Amino acid sequence: MIVTTLKPLDEILESISPYRKILIAGCDGCTQPPRGKREVKTLKQLLELAGQLKGREFEFKVTSVVKQCDSVLTVSAIKPYVEDVEAVLSLACGAGPQTVAEFFPDIPAIPAQNSHFIGRDDREGGNLDDSCSACGDCILALTGGICPVTRCSKGLLNGACGGASNGKCELDPNRDCAWELIYERLRRLGKLDLIKKFTPAKDYSASGWRVTP
C-alpha cells in the first residue's frame, strides 16, 4: 500500500505554468486514496478552473496506468500522447514520475502528489529502494524526475558534493552520481536554471515513516 496526498493546487499550477499542453496520468495501482481515471478527470477540471482565475489556459489530456512504476505499462499508456504534450503531470507515488522521466527523458515529468508511506505485500516482488522514499514533499519537478533523496547516497538536495569520479559516487563506485544524472536530464530538457533553485532541508514529519525506539 502507498499513502499519498495531493499537492496544494497552487503548487501544481506553478509547476505546470511553463507548459500549455499537458497529459495528466493517473495510477490504478497501489495509491491510497485511489488516483485513477475519475480522480484524473477531477484534477483536470480543478486545474482548468484555477487556471482561468489566473488568466491561464491549459490544454489537458488524461489517461491512467495500471501501475506507473511498471515501465512496460507506463510506456504503452503514455507513448500515444508523447508528440502532442509538453509535460506529464503524474498522479502516482514518487515512483511514477521517475518512471515517466526515465523512458520519456525529453518530456518534463511533474509530480502532483506527495508520498508519505510505502508498504509492500510479501507476495510482491521488485525493489522500491531506488525509486521513492516517501519523504512527504516531492521535488521531482525541480530535478528532472530523478529523486536526489533516494538516488544520491548522501541525500543531497542542492547539487553534487564534488566527490564523484567518472560519473560514479565516491561512496559506491558502482552507483551513478545522482546529481550528474539530474544535471544531464535538466540540460536535455533546457531547464538548467532549476538547478540553481535552493531547496530547504526537508521536514520529515510530513512522511508517514516513524522510528520506533
Choice between 124 and 34, residue whose per-residue pLDDT is larger: 34
Q: Binning pLDDT at 50, 70 and 90, where does residue 119 land?
A: low
C-alpha cell at position 81: 500522447
State the Rg of the chain over Cα: 17
What pLDDT sits at residue 203? 83
Angle (CA) 29 30 31, round 5°? 105
Diameter over CA atoms, the chain: 51
Collapsing DSSP to helix, strand or coil, 23 comes out as strand
Q: Rounded distance, CA 164 to CA 160, Å?
A: 8
pLDDT at 14 over 90: yes
- Angle formed at CA 156 by CA 5 and CA 27, multiple of 5 degrees: 30
Round the average pLDDT of the chain to a whole number and report it. Answer: 89
Pairing of strands 2-6, 113-118: antiparallel
pLDDT band at 29 (very low <50, low <70, confident <90, very high): confident
Which of 17, 151, 145 shows the shortest CA–CA distance to 78? 145
The predicted model scores a pTM of 0.81
What number is the average pLDDT over the span 137-162? 94
Phi, psi angle pair for 210, to nearest 5°: -135, 140
